[in-house]
């Protein structure tokens, strides 16, 4: 894999915690709870910085949306 391909992959497929939270539509606290419970796993954690794969976050988003639809039908 060439360097420019790696850079493009990282820019497109790797999300910071803030980006993951925004994509999921959750607060930092809720994102932290998802990580603590094991429902969302960072691919790399350095100190307080966590990085997530877009595919994992989008899969979690589908799961959260299904739960919201099931348990909060009045939101629609």
Position 33 scores a pLDDT of 96
Position 60 scores a pLDDT of 96
Q: Domain spans of the chain? A: 3-75
Position 76 scores a pLDDT of 59
Q: Which fold has domain 3-75?
A: Multidrug-efflux Transporter Regulator; Chain: A; Domain 2 (1.10.1660)
Position 1 scores a pLDDT of 82
How does pLDDT run across 60-72, given as a tens digit for each residue? Answer: 999 998 888 888 7
Confidence of residue 75 (pLDDT cuts 50, 70, 90): low
**Closest of 27, 31, 20, 28 to residue 54, by C-alpha:** 20
Alpha carbon distance 14, 11 (integer Å): 6
How does pLDDT run across 2-54, given as a tens digit for each residue? Answer: 999 999 999 999 999 999 999 999 999 999 999 999 999 999 999 989 999 99
Alpha carbon distance 49, 34 (integer Å): 15
């Amino acid at each position: 894999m060439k360097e420019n391909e790696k850079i493009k992959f990282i820019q497109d497929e790797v999300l910071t915690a803030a980006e993951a939270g925004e994509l999921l539509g959750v607060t930092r606290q809720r994102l932290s709870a998802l990580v603590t419970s094991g429902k969302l796993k960072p691919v790399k954690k350095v100190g307080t910085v966590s990085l997530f794969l877009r595919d994992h976050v989008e899969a979690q988003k589908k799961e959260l949306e299904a739960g919201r639809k099931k348990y909060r039908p009045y939101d629609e």
